[in-house]
Amino acid sequence: MNSADLGRRVGVPSTALFTDQYELTMVQAALKAGTADRRSVFEAFTRRLPEGRRYGVVAGTGRVLDAVENFHFEDEMLGFLRDQDVVDGPTLDYLADYRFSGDIWGYPEGEVYFPGSPVLRVEGSFAECVLLETVILSILNHDSAIAAAASRMSAAAGGRGLIEMGARRTHELSAVASSRAAYIGGFDTTSDLAAGFRYNIPTVGTSAHAFTLLHDSERDAFRAQVDSLGRGTTLLVDTYDVTEAVRTAVEIAGPELGAVRIDSGDLLLVAHRVRQQLDELGATETRIVVTSDLDEYAIASLAAAPVDAYGVGTQLVTGSGQPTCSMVYKLVARAASADPADELRPVAKKSMGSKSSKGGRKWAARRRDEEGVAEAEVIGTGPVPDELAGQQLLVELVKGGEVVAREPLDEARERHIAARAGLPMSAMQLSRGEPVLPTEYV
């Protein structure tokens, strides 16, 4: 695979301190006890979907692979840990040589998941696996939440264009990750140039109300924009009077005007009026783009409106009310030594209520009916039934510490479209409900 297909591999600093202190203190205690090298299996999963969601979307896997590759302790970091007395000398020596050398399996990016799905399985020594917990969860919880919101918005949009424009509503680095996750979930473009630069996501953008207000008249502003960007540009028409702005826009750009954007008011009513006016002025091919704090419910409410594209910001980059997926990272199996021949023993904490989990190294498969529609998420720890052998979901991502499964972002995007299409139709409902597939343990 040509690395150019994967976007620009922008240099990132070490991810080793993107972690919680107790990961390091556990390693110190395990080293002293002689248990740090015990062969172990950790799994990332969620016990439940966010309230009202019918399915989850795996996103962030590619960023996890980058984080694992870049997880090493630089001299300055080790000095910080030493100065703060976080861990002792032997542990610092261990961390100085740390490189993940184990294996990682997981649901491929863009796939859907359900409660209990082993979204990521990390295998190696206890010490090398436990150190990755926080950074893995940080990425998966954030990106999967954004992708799930994007998927719901994409389903509600029904094939109309979707523009991610939330950079100013979140942390500057989260904005780039959000653009990436939104693209996987079904968005078409982003306004964030950093996301376009790093991940080859198509970028768009023309002007804000400030550009209109800068000029002595709306006509002057439109003329300046068309002269600079061409007749195919998008003119923002709700700074003053929408009707007058549309008339002026077509007078200046002609019927070749690319689009008009509406950012306020009763979008349903205004979109109908603008479409009628554009058609009467001969601009029948001019598109209508609407923005203004949209979410999946607002997009669905505009299904009958003559809208060509939606721009979404705040609600998208905050997960549309669900900013995390509540994924956890648990030790599910371990051996008594580092010997690969030593038997893996299932382990799980005993817990009352909602924090229980199931031990054992798991596989997962999706059972389908005779028409190919998914009907259950099947998870097991023993042999895979013959009828499910071709439906397994986990793929190898890292082997012996080496990444083996990088892919272009478009592949994850296409995978999500196919995975969502394979779910029962009720998965597309925005009304609150249970997961669209039951989880069965065998």
| pLDDT interval class at 4 (50, 70, 90) | very low
Distances from the Cα of 408 to the Cαs of 71, 165, 173, in angstroms? 22, 22, 20
pLDDT at 355: 72
| pLDDT interval class at 196 (50, 70, 90) | very high
Joined tokens for residue 324: 């995390």
What CA–CA distance (Å, rounded) separates 137 from 150? 20
Residue 352 pLDDT greater than 70, yes or no: no
Residue 140 pLDDT greater than 50, yes or no: yes
pLDDT at 7: 64
Mean pLDDT of the chain: 95
Mean per-residue pLDDT, 80-84 = 98
Mean per-residue pLDDT, 176-181 = 98
Dump pLDDT digits (tens) for 302-331: 999 999 999 999 999 999 999 999 999 999
Residues 6+ apart with CB under 8 A from 398: 65, 68, 100, 102, 103, 104, 404, 405
pLDDT at 1: 36
Of all residues in the chain, what percent carry a pLDDT higher than 90?
A: 93
Joined tokens for residue 8: 């620009």
Joined tokens for residue 258: 């690319």
Residue type, 229: L
Closest of 295, 432, 409, 422 to residue 8, by C-alpha: 409
**C-alpha atoms less than 13 angstroms from C-alpha of 278 in its C-beta half-sphere:** 27
What CA–CA distance (Å, rounded) separates 126 from 23? 11
pLDDT at 10: 56
Name the strand (E) or helix (H) holding 3.
Answer: none
Locate all alpha helices (DSSP H) within 320-408, ordered by sequence: none
DSSP-derived secondary structure letter, 343: P
Region of residue 346 (left: phi > 0; alpha: psi -120 to 50; beta: else): beta
When mean pLDDT is compared across 5-19, 240-254, 415-429, the lowest value belongs to 5-19
CB of 239 closer than 8 Å to CB of 265: no
Name the strand (E) or helix (H) holding 424.
Answer: none
Domain ranges of the chain: 13-146+323-441, 206-307
Polymer length in residues for the chain:
442
Residue type, 23: E
CA angle at 355 for the pair 354 and 358, rounded to the nearest 5°: 110
pLDDT at 163: 98
What CA–CA distance (Å, rounded) separates 428 from 112? 13
First to last CA, the chain: 37
Q: For the structural domain made of 13-146+323-441, what CATH number should be given? A: 3.20.140.10
When mean pLDDT is compared across 92-101, 169-178, 291-300, 351-360, the lowest value belongs to 351-360
CB of 27 closer than 8 Å to CB of 82: no
Mean per-residue pLDDT, 17-44 = 98
pLDDT at 350: 82
Q: For the structural domain made of 206-307, what CATH number should be given? A: 3.20.20.70
Mean per-residue pLDDT, 203-211 = 97
Joined tokens for residue 335: 């051996």
| pLDDT interval class at 8 (50, 70, 90) | low
Locate all alpha helices (DSSP H) within 281-387, ordered by sequence: 296-301, 314-317
Global pTM exceeds 0.75: yes
Residue 39 pLDDT greater than 80, yes or no: yes
DSSP-derived secondary structure letter, 355: G
Residue 364 pLDDT greater than 60, yes or no: yes
pLDDT at 373: 97
Does 13-146+323-441 match 206-307 in CATH topology?
A: no
DSSP-derived secondary structure letter, 216: S
Neighbouring C-beta atoms of residue 331, cutoff 10 Å? 20
CA angle at 442 for the pair 119 and 387, rounded to the nearest 5°: 90
Strands 259-262 and 287-290: parallel
